[in-house]
Every structure is written in C-alpha cells, then in structure tokens.
Copies of this chain bind each other. A is one copy, B any other.
Amino acid sequence: MANKPNIPKGTRDFSPLEMIKRNYIFNTIKDVYKLYGFQQIETPAMESLQTLMGKYGDEGDKLLFKILNSGDYLKKVSDDELLQRNPLKLAPQLCEKGLRYDLTVPFARYVVMHREELQMPFKRYQIQPVWRADRPQKGRYREFYQCDADVVGSDSLLNEVELVQIMDTVFTKFGIRVQIKINNRKILTGIAEVIGEAEKIIDITVAIDKLDKIGIDNVNKELKENGISDEAITKLQPIIALKGSNEDKLNTLQEVLSTSEIGLKGIEETRYILNKLSSVDIQNEIELDLTLARGLNYYTGAIFEVKALDVAIGSITGGGRYDNLTGIFGMPGISGVGISFGADRIYDVLNTLDLYPRESVEQTQVLFINFGEEEVSYCLPIATQLRNNGVFTEVFPENTKMKKQMNYANAKQIPFVVIAGENEIKEGKLTLKNMVTGEQSLLTKEELIAQFQ
C-alpha cells in the first residue's frame, strides 16, 4: 500500500539550514520595513476567483490555481456544458476560489474592504507565498514568497524616496552590491508623444535595451521593422544614445521632451527623487535607465528595479508608482507606490557570493551527553536552568554510544557538549567540551551556567 512520496513539481521543502537562511532574508527585509514605519498584514491564501480573474491578463487567468468547490461541485453544470469540455469556460463553475497570484491584488482588495479602519497614508508590508501554475524551471517555482511594501493614499514623492532608501539599506545589510535603476512611466509616455508613436513605446524600450549587444544600426533597423517611422527614429537618436550621469541624461531628456507636458512632469519627478536621495547617504549607485519598462500597463509614475552587480541574475527587486489600484474594486482615486523583494533570487545571490552570516542565532549551543538514567537526572535541572537563561540546550534523549552522540553534536554544529558521567557526579561537577577547539574544563554547576551568561 505504501507509495513512494513526492511533492508537486515546482514546489519545495525547506530544510532547517535553508530555513535559517530564508529567515535571515525575511527578517532583514522586515526589520528595514519596520524602520520606515511599515506595518505587517496578512491575507488568506485563497481568494474568491472573482477577485483574481481578469487582473493579470488572459495568461494570468490561466496560471491561477483554482480550488475545486466542496460538495457536489457539478451541481450547477448542465450535461451539455459538461460534454462541451471547455476547460476555461467550465472552471469558474467548478471553482469559486483560487490561490493568490501576487500580493498586490489581495492588498487592493484589503484596502477596499477595510478602508474605514485604515489611517491614510497606509504603509503596509506583507511577506507571504504566492502560487502560479507556470512551467517550472531553474529559479522559477510554482510556490514562492513575495516580500512587498506599499504606501497607499499618498501622492507624495517622499514615498518613492523612502522606498529607494529601503532597497539601498536592505542590500547594504546583505552585503550585496547592487545598482538601483530608476525610470518614470511619464518620461516614456512623453517620448511616445514626442515621436508620435504612442502605441509603440514597448517596442521602443525593447529595442533600446539591445543597444549594447547589437549596436545603434541594428537598433534602428529593429525600430524600422517594428513600423516606426524614419522621422520618429531620427527624433529617438538622442534618447537611444543617452549617456553620462543622471543629471546629463535628464538635461538631454529635458530638451527632447520640451513639448510634452507629461514628459516634463516625469523629468521633474525624477529630479526630485534623485535630489532628495542625494541628501540621505545612499550606498549603492542609482541609475536612470529608460529601458526599464516593467509592468508598463500598471505603473503610472516612478519605476524601480535592482540588479546585483556581482552575479548574473535578473532583477532581484522591483516596484513603482501606480494610480487607481483599488479602482477595480470600486474605490477610485487611491494612488500607491510599492516595491517587492525577490526572496528566491536574493537567496541564490547570497549563496553564490557566500554572504550568509557565519554565526546563526538559531542553533543549539549546548548538548548534554546521555550516559543513562542517573546521569540524566543529574543533568536535567542544569539544562533547564540554562534554558531559563535563554541558552539553546539539548539533552540527548537516548543512552547510546558516546560516538553517536558526538556525531549528532557535530552534524547540528553544536559548539559545546557537557559530559557528566560517574566521576563528574561524584565530584558534583560537569565537563564542558568546546567542540571547535577540543578544549575541556571541569566546572561546577554554577560555573557552567556562568559560562553562558
């Protein structure tokens, strides 16, 4: 009857060692969020499909994990509908609920449902798993954690400034050297306006992004292939060739976009953010990057993305300003700005660069060796005293060979072992062994306890 167990593809178990590393990541991010006054919320894993459907495009709808209704889930379906065998059409009849796909839509739903209780601006953070029925591949999972912070109910660009400070502080704490890229949707809209190709803005940023790889001629060729007029391509040249400091770039853009009100607004916003940031001691480089166009249909102002400098991996954090997030749930006029740390990629970067702290705060510090009943009775109150003092302490539960117990200590990287056999008990003492240096000392109970204070 016994079947060999497995877990669903794209999901993972996390071992104690992995949990220590993951907790280190989550706690570092949490601590910084809290430094800036963000408050934690949690929302249910399951949301009504009505809340989720239509929020992530057609592709997103397909990638939602849907939960079969309890009881007779076929009740409301006719024979005809069944035999049509249309999975997409049938799913909403079989399923009312789905697993959350990100933390943003549930957050918008939360804001709308709890608007009466919320003090605006509402600064929330949320660290929970999300689920996507994506094809699993290296570094892409069907269950993964998102670590989001958003401010809603405030148009102030100080929020953008703070979010950049948060990204900078988090990666400084991790010891990961990063580049923080910044862009503004309004600048992109301005560019599209000026060259009269409003529909083509994504094609344009995609092409510009290839400049380093394929050179200016090929970029221009690609733009032309995408149906962009020669005139527009000519106008685009200073933007494609945009170089120098952020200040230089903004000055160039100011000229090119001089006729676009929205473009100039984007430049002004970016100047404001960069200017304020220059006063607060940012550790990492901030670069204005026009090719940054993530979630273009979603963001309306500043756009952020973080890249690790020493590991070739995609974006490890991103975010931006969006307007009207809650409009889809009947509460218009709420602007928000947020960021999301990619915990799984950060995990990989920390591993690759070997940046995890050497000392774990979660490991057992002392193991009492078990020599039998009498010895255990001698040790138990001392172990209890150590725990009362906050020392992570174990008493080996089995009276097995010393070697096996020592192996256990080594495997769990327990730095100290207490040995109390017949001789020690006779003297009313205990032997404390340092597992790293091998050093042993014979101590009274009080001396032992004092060692760990």
Contact = CB atoms under 8 A, between A and B. Distances in A.
Contacts of A169: 387
Contact of A13 (B36, B44, B384): B44
Contacts of A399: 156
A42 B19 contact: yes
Of A129, A367, A384, chain B has the most CB atoms within 10 Å of the CB of A384
A381 interface: yes
Top-6 shortest CB links A-B: A2-B330, A16-B39, A11-B44, A156-B397, A37-B394, A119-B411
A241 interface: no
A48 interface: yes
Of A43, A83, A397, chain B has the most CB atoms within 10 Å of the CB of A397
Interface in A86-102: 87, 90-91, 94-97, 99
Contacts of A112: 5
A205 to B, nearest CB: 29
Nearest to A105: B5
Contact of A398 (B154, B276, B398, B412): B154
B387 A3 contact: no
A137 interface: no
Interface of A: 1-8, 11-16, 19-20, 22-23, 34-37, 39-48, 50-51, 62-63, 65-68, 70-74, 79, 82-83, 85, 87, 90-91, 94-97, 99, 109-110, 112-114, 117, 119, 121, 123-124, 129, 131, 133, 142-143, 151, 154-156, 158-159, 161-162, 165, 169, 276, 279-281, 327-330, 362, 364, 367, 370, 376-377, 380-381, 384, 387, 390-395, 397-399, 407-408, 411-412
The count of identical subunits is 2
A159 to B, nearest CB: 5
Given A37-B394, A394-B36, A397-B156, A48 B131 contact: no
28 contacts: A2-B327, A6-B51, A7-B47, A7-B48, A14-B43, A15-B114, A16-B41, A19-B40, A19-B41, A23-B40, A34-B392, A35-B391, A35-B393, A36-B387, A37-B364, A37-B392, A39-B362, A45-B131, A46-B142, A66-B67, A66-B68, A74-B90, A119-B408, A154-B397, A155-B398, A156-B397, A162-B397, A279-B381
Contacts of A66: 67-68
Contacts of A11: 44-46
A74 B3 CA distance: 25
Contacts of A1: 328
A74 B84 CA distance: 10
A87 B113 contact: no
A87 B73 CA distance: 7
Of A36, A95, A151, chain B has the most CB atoms within 10 Å of the CB of A36
